[in-house]
Amino acid sequence: MAGPNIDRRRAEFPTLASGIHLLSHSLGPVPRTARESLLAYYQAWEQHTSEDAWAASWWELSRQVGDRIARILGGAPGSVQIQPNASIALASVASCFDFASTKRNKVVTSALDFPSMEYIWEAQRALGAKVEIVGSPDGITVPLENILAAIDDATSLVAMSHTSFRIALVRSSYLMFINRPDPLSWMRLSGALIS
Ligand SMILES: Cc1ncc(COP(=O)(O)O)c(C=O)c1O
């Protein structure tokens, strides 16, 4: 009996015929369909005035892509918003908090978050945030008990990357969070304000 055809999408990534990609988040193998999408984008730009191109498709594109990602994540339509990059997305979230006017001004993050994420949080200190970076004793993991110890009733936000940028590990501590039957209530009980 034939096994699952795990290579069925390989032909859609032409550069895989000539090399192996070890880095896929920054400049991964280009999908064949990217050419068609870029051409369609260019044609919309070329054939309409810029105002028409926005009205015809571009305004809606972000929502449509967000909804497709939501389907993959198991989220509701309209619940995923696309941002230009992770730093801007994180800065947008940070801008929702007024750290200076509350005692609940603590942000808990981890030493294994991507370095540019830390810059965003460091900059919030000048705006009144108290930033606690939970360390990584072995450089590979962040112990769950240390994360829990850092969360208290002064915590307004827990911000942690799903995956370690160092070794691509999906953090077991993170998985322990999401495997709880109702992780949000549990984190609220632990003191975090989650909205
Ligand atoms: C896990 C992770 N988080 C954040 C970033 C930063 O992303 P950006 O440069 O889009 O802000 C990267 C960049 O490679 C990353 O790998």
SS3 content of the chain, % helix, strand, coil (to 5): 45, 10, 45
Q: What spacing in Å lies between the alpha carbon of 25 and ligand 1's midpoint?
A: 8
Q: What spacing in Å lies between the alpha carbon of 185 and ligand 1's midpoint?
A: 28
- d(CA 166, CA 112) in angstroms, rounded, equals 8
Residue 80: C-alpha distances to residues 21, 67, 83, 193 (Å): 28, 6, 10, 20
Question: Domain ranges in the chain?
Answer: 28-73, 86-189
Round to the nearest angstrom and report the end-to-end CA distance of the chain: 50
- d(CA 185, CA 105) in angstroms, rounded, equals 20
Q: What spacing in Å lies between the alpha carbon of 62 and ligand 1's midpoint?
A: 19
Q: What spacing in Å lies between the alpha carbon of 39 and ligand 1's midpoint?
A: 27
* Residue in 23, 26, 82, 85 to alter for ligand 1 test, most ligand atoms within 8 A of Cβ: 85
Report pLDDT digits (tens) over 97-109.
999 999 999 999 9
- Looking at ligand 1, which atom is closest to the CA of residue 164? 1
Report pLDDT digits (tens) over 67-93.
999 999 888 999 998 898 889 999 999
DSSP state of 167: T
* Residue in 25, 113, 116 to alter for ligand 1 test, most ligand atoms within 8 A of Cβ: 116
* CATH code at 86-189: 3.40.640.10
Report pLDDT digits (tens) over 146-162.
888 999 999 999 998 87
